[in-house]
Structure 1
Amino acid sequence: MTDQFRAKLRLALPFALSGLGTGAVWAQTDDQVHQPLEEVVVTGQLQKSLAETALPVSVLSDEQLRQQQSTNLGDTLKNIAGVHSSSFGSGVGRPIIRGQTGNRVRVLQGSLGTLDASSVSPDHANGISPLAAERVEVVRGPATLLYGNGAIGGVINVIDNRIASEPLSPRAVFDISHNSNNQQNTGALLLEQPWQNWNWHLDGSRYSADDSDIPVPANPEQADEYRGVLENSDREGDSITLGSSYLTENGYLGLAVSRYTTNYGLPEGLHEHADAEAEEADVRIDLEQTRYEFKAGRDLNGLFNSLEASLAYTDYQHRELEVTSATTEVGTQIANQGFDSRFTLSHNPLAGWQGVVGLQLQQREFGATGEEGYILPTDIASAGLFAVESLDIAQWTIELGARLEHNQTELHQGCKQSSNTTSASASLLRPVSQQSSAWVSASWSERAATEEELYSNIDPASCSHFPGEALVTHAATGFIELGNPELDRETSQNLELGWRRHQGLWTAEVNLYYNQINNYIYAANSDQADAPELFNLVADSDTLLYYSQADAHFYGAELSATGHLYELTSHHLDWRLQGDWVRAQLDSGSNVPRLAPARLGTELAWVGERWTVSLDASHVFSQTHTAPGETNTDGYTLVGAYADYHFLPNGQEWTLYLRGNNLLDEEVRDHTSFIKDAAPAPGIGVEVGLRVTL
């Protein structure tokens, strides 16, 4: 046993023992354990239960969501099979689904797009606070039919009660916590109150954190220390939402307004600037987002039985600040304003078929100005028609869908691209027994190129690249990114096999998938690009990336299983196993960049009437399937623990909880991150909190 391992073990044992001594997931009755049978999947639009849907979907809600909630979306979801989180320091956690991220993963707030800037750059956080979520649904695989061009990787839908369509129960929830690693203090509030035919909803949150402690020295000045501090990784943020809905005999309508802000640092050593003073500056992102939402629904008579209308207007902006001891300067400002809307009609059975038809309209303006303004103001608009139909025949369920969409992306004063995309899907679901079912699905999905892929460093007057001396470096990645106005549509052909056991003393799900993507768009270096002459624009070709196209294929597998190992009248021991694996290559033979490595994890949870204690471990394997210019990333093992205890005085519920993270103080390098070598993940830490429900 090495001295380093002994030191890690001494750090881990107090946290592990404290977790094992209290309790970790609130007690679940036997009915609650088998709740997935009744869980209705809202994001599927047909609103079927988990047992009835052929979607590879995961749902986080209730106690499971509370255990995994974080201040960013990626960290909240990273324990779901097939879902990883791409970091850029502690302030950013962008979800990755089946090796896809950015503009291939659609993030929704109440089934409408968030319209932030997270898909444009890896250092941009999602403009959403998971702390107020009541439920998060993750649909893996192509989901372009219902939610728009581009969701080849999947859809994440964050759901709350800001505009409730059903009567709410009076409720007040207060939650406070403290994390020992970065001294983060977090507070959250939720108030819900019905009054006559009205529902009222208020939620808010606030967090503030110092720099993260990491298991290794962060720079030469810390070389003699066993552990280090990731400088400029501190962060703070807050959110507030006020919503109300009015219920009628056959419908509802409501309004909500929300405000989200966060200010976080990008770890040092990642940005290059023109003068010596700027090189010493800390770079921070100051993000503000205001969102207005309207929703209405009505029951109908006749062919159609219900109508739903949703519209959200989002005003997003963030400033990239360069901070020294004397000054704070705005280097770049990025803005994204616009609306997303959906209108759906559900119809009564026609010859056994039942389903939904809908219209989606979106329009927004995106642009970056200032020192790093490498994408000039751009207008983006889309209009889509879609339909999903389902038919039960004997023991088979058939589901068909189609979508037609028109997309237009135009730089101000010229340079425009228009495209029509088509998507279609078909699936067959059949019960294998009363407790399990199997399915096969196939889909065809097209994705139009996005603003950063088309117009990075593009002159709108000539619709060609800026001259070499005028090219702008994207400081977050350290590269000069060159858009390609001639990009064609991506075409994804996906085949998936799945099996799910949804009821009984144990439940499980297995998914196998293969996805062929023709004209796959990726940021190529000089060894991969199909236009090598462009790399003569700069003296150092290693600093340039060009959005190119090539055929690619993705394939992988996902497994999740949970079972009762032992059960008494009021206690039971549960075991969970989970893993995922994905490979992705261009048809030329090279690997897709920054691909998430395989992982395998397990958890034991001892559940009582008012307490639970759990201990989990997951191994992330090394990533050696690298793209040109990438380096291999070592694997690591994460050990965690969670405990809580519920007091129930006078009808109230007080929950004391404890969470231990990275208990072995492992050095964690995220292969999906642009800055894995400069910014390891936080080391050992414990979070203690109290949640009160009135």
Structure 2
Amino acid sequence: MSKTELTGELLQQQKAPTLGDTLSQISGVSSSYFGASAGRPQIRGLGGQRVMISSNGLPVRDMSSVSDDQLVPIEPFFADRITVLKGAAATVAYGGEAMAGLVDVDDGRIPLQHSAHNYTDQIEIQSGYNTGTALLGRFQGQEQGFAYNVNLLHRERGDFKVPKNAKDPACNDWSELVLSSQLQAQCQVVLGQPQWEYNGTKYVDVTPLDQQIIEHRSDNLQGKVENSSNYQTSFTFGGSQVFANEQLLGFSFGYTRANRGIPGFMHLTSKGTDQLAETGKIRINSDQYRFDALYSKEFKNNSFLNHGEITARYTNQLDDESLAERSVNTFELSNWQLNPTLNYQSSSELTGMIGLALEGSKHQGGGVDNYLPDINSDRRAAYILQNANYGPLSAQLGARYEKVEYEPSFPATYEPGRGQGSAIADREFNLHNYVASMRFDILTGWWVSSSYTHAERAPAVNELYASNPHFALLIEEQGNAQLEMEVNKATEFGTGISFADFSITANWYENQYENFIYLGNTGVNRGGVFVKEWRQADTENTGFEVELSYTLATKTAGDFTFSAFADATENTPVYQFDGTYDPFTIENFFDPKPDQEAEYYRRNLEGDSMPRTPADSQGLAVHWQYDQLSASLDYVHHGAQDKVAKGEFASQQYHLLGAYFSVTQNLLGYESEVYINIDNLTDEDARPHQSFLRQLTPLPGRSVAFGIRAKI
């Protein structure tokens, strides 16, 4: 398992409005990118239900793992530390939703008191060109054993600018569009009546140029992406009290409200429209309430127990999706969690932790376009992690047992569709996760590591029960209530060398998925959108990451830190047969072999790669610090992705160049940092391959943000 932490000045420089964008310069990490307001982290080419996002150590249960267009209810600008764990080993402590990795955001909403802590109030103001305007405030202090922390944020951004047209050039290319109805749907275009002629071997398009009419259902503006604006307001208040015998009791309350557009997307056949062909802009209103509580105790005089902790959380999230200012889809997700843990030490070499995870969720949907039934979910888990350290050798063993239960029901507003997702049933899963890892320090400054993880994941609610059109993804999404648990047998090897001010690390990984759950093609178009259904088959995820860093300290010119990284990942179906099986021959028609038949259709519908696999990337950065001045320049190259699934189009390479400059000085009696942050300096037309929005909108063009951070 590879671990990366963002803290301090580097975190300040890389903070972005979405969590995915904040972490996008870490090797092996990408953003799902659903516009400037929604971007969920993906790790090693996988995201959604396989990347756990946690806040202060507790999982964040929200709808962003179900649908990429949903806002991740975590504010990166409040983060004191962001930890990224890459690999399946995190599943022992966090469950199967961490199969690809974990992102934990420590925002200090419950202040953990330290006698040497310097409590300082801070205000930050940011605005600029092609960027949002934001006002942030953090106010904290401590009086007679009680510490408090208040965070305030308001951010708003208009429609963002792009270097060329909003849509991909292929969306204006008749020759590309006429051959692919899927591309027409992704581009949201309608073609004039094509004319076909048989040339003796196949039908070819012979439509005259003056009749090659492309009608755009959604706007294809030049230099701007319509309906990409958003605003957000967040507030948190937390406090903690220290008691005798090394005890602490803390709590926090948080509220987030957001309104955001889904750029480029239009409903095509909503039940809420007067006509099937009517279109309209999609906007989503979100409200979330969150309550956290913490009790911790240090066992100073106990020879076995070190630390005990009980964390609890309750969240309530309400999203209202509107089409042309009419509400068509709502959902409410409420969740409670209770996690007690104990840290122990049986000897100086042996330490460990045991824990429980108790959780319940309730999903309720509404509106004319509701695509999920109501679902009650319960999770119960127990786990143990044992660490051993003997000189140059360190090892960890861990095990987790988890039980997941789903109880769906039909609300009055829900109409089941026609696919497997409508055949709902209660489900129960018993999951087992194990991990064994070791690290050996061969020499001072040179180490090697390896790990093996057996991880199991229960299908998610949409994978089991989705039914009807899911307009945010421009598909009809069909679940399958008969899906089995997903199993990952993960192997990872790593090595690192560090001496003086130089370090380099490398990791290789292989994840062998059994019953990998994926959203598969059907080839059916219904109601203006393509039908996709959740299926299972073996799949392989492999790749590597390399990172290096060098610090050069000078007496006259300041300190320079040079860093670089490279990563690559592949997600490929695992086929057992040679592909020659033909289910349409008479001898096979009456006696098909199920395994060969299933593989035949997967080959012909999915191809040799899983869709939306991020392209390989390489990055370079230099950071400079001299007295009160600091600056950085970062460059990331995202390669072309031509390993694509059936019906998917290759994407072009692109380059992102960014710059940051700041000076710390006294302004009006307050210690302040004035900074300039420039993204996409070369105004590149950048379209991430992993994004559902790739054909409809690129990343924002050149953006320049000016800001002031002041300690008051």
Q: TM-score, normalised by structure 2?
A: 0.83
- For 2:280 and 2:498, the matched residues in 1 are separated by 54
**Contact 1:133 1:158 (8 Å CA) reproduced:** yes
Letter in 2 for 1:236: Y
Letter in 2 for 1:171: T
How far the C-alpha of 1:114 sits from its partner, in A, is 1.8
In the alignment, what sits opposite 1:603?
621
In the alignment, what sits opposite 1:147?
94
- For 1:631 and 1:173, the matched residues in 2 are separated by 47
In the alignment, what sits opposite 1:443?
453
CA pair 165-502 structure 1, distance change in 2 beyond 3 A: farther
In the alignment, what sits opposite 1:16?
none
- Counterparts of residues 391-430 of structure 1 (less than 5 Å): 391-412=388-409, 415-430=425-440
CA pair 542-585 structure 1, distance change in 2 beyond 3 A: farther
How far the C-alpha of 1:228 sits from its partner, in A, is 1.2
- For 1:568 and 1:501, the matched residues in 2 are separated by 26
Other structure's SS at 2:687 match: coil
Q: 2:256 aligns with which of 236, 255, 260?
A: 260
Q: 1:592 aligns with which of 602, 607, 610?
A: 610
In the alignment, what sits opposite 1:124?
70
Which has the greater radius of gyration? 2
1:475 aligns with 2:471: yes
1:664 aligns with 2:682: yes
1:180 aligns with 2:129: yes
- Counterparts of residues 30-429 of structure 1 (less than 5 Å): 55-142=1-88, 143-167=90-114, 168-182=117-131, 184-218=132-166, 227-249=222-244, 250-274=246-270, 275=273, 279-300=278-299, 301-323=302-324, 328-350=325-347, 352-412=349-409, 415-429=425-439
Other structure's SS at 1:371 match: coil
Letter in 1 for 2:158: D
**More moved, 564-573 vs 410-419:** 564-573
Q: Structure 2: which 5+ runs fail to align? A: 173-214, 411-423, 576-606
In the alignment, what sits opposite 2:521?
525
- For 1:586 and 1:368, the matched residues in 2 are separated by 34
How far the C-alpha of 1:227 sits from its partner, in A, is 4.8
Other structure's SS at 2:63 match: coil
CA pair 198-430 structure 1, distance change in 2 beyond 3 A: same
**Contact 1:291 1:315 (8 Å CA) reproduced:** yes
How far the C-alpha of 1:90 sits from its partner, in A, is 1.6
How far the C-alpha of 1:564 sits from its partner, in A, is 2.4
**Contact 1:526 1:541 (8 Å CA) reproduced:** no
**Contact 1:525 1:542 (8 Å CA) reproduced:** no
**Contact 2:451 2:491 (8 Å CA) reproduced:** yes
Q: 1:489-532 deviations in whole A, cap 9, x for unaligned?
A: 111011111123466312232111111011000000026xxxxx
In the alignment, what sits opposite 1:497?
493
1:544 aligns with 2:543: no
RMSD: 2.3
How far the C-alpha of 1:689 sits from its partner, in A, is 0.6
- For 1:570 and 1:217, the matched residues in 2 are separated by 43
In the alignment, what sits opposite 1:510?
506
How many pairs align?
612
Other structure's SS at 1:128 match: coil
CA pair 75-560 structure 1, distance change in 2 beyond 3 A: same
Other structure's SS at 1:88 match: coil
- For 1:541 and 1:261, the matched residues in 2 are separated by 32
Other structure's SS at 1:525 match: strand
State the structure with bigger RCO (CA 8 A, min sep 6), 1 or 2. Answer: 1
1:431 aligns with 2:434: no
- For 2:400 and 2:483, the matched residues in 1 are separated by 21
- For 2:23 and 2:145, the matched residues in 1 are separated by 35
How far the C-alpha of 1:638 sits from its partner, in A, is 1.1
Letter in 1 for 2:329: T
Q: TM-score, normalised by structure 1?
A: 0.85
Letter in 2 for 1:157: D
Percent identity at matched positions?
A: 27
**Contact 2:660 2:678 (8 Å CA) reproduced:** yes
- For 1:573 and 1:338, the matched residues in 2 are separated by 46
**Contact 1:397 1:430 (8 Å CA) reproduced:** yes
How far the C-alpha of 1:565 sits from its partner, in A, is 4.4
**Contact 1:115 1:316 (8 Å CA) reproduced:** no
In the alignment, what sits opposite 1:630?
648
CA pair 177-408 structure 1, distance change in 2 beyond 3 A: same
- For 2:364 and 2:477, the matched residues in 1 are separated by 15
CA pair 569-228 structure 1, distance change in 2 beyond 3 A: closer
Letter in 1 for 2:16: S
Letter in 2 for 1:212: F
Other structure's SS at 1:67 match: helix
- For 2:118 and 2:668, the matched residues in 1 are separated by 18
**Contact 1:270 1:675 (8 Å CA) reproduced:** no
Other structure's SS at 1:267 match: strand
**Contact 1:169 1:194 (8 Å CA) reproduced:** no
**Contact 1:112 1:341 (8 Å CA) reproduced:** no
Q: Structure 1: which 5+ runs fail to align? A: 1-54, 458-471, 528-534
Q: 1:249-283 deviations in whole A, cap 9, x for unaligned?
A: 41211110001111110123442135477834211
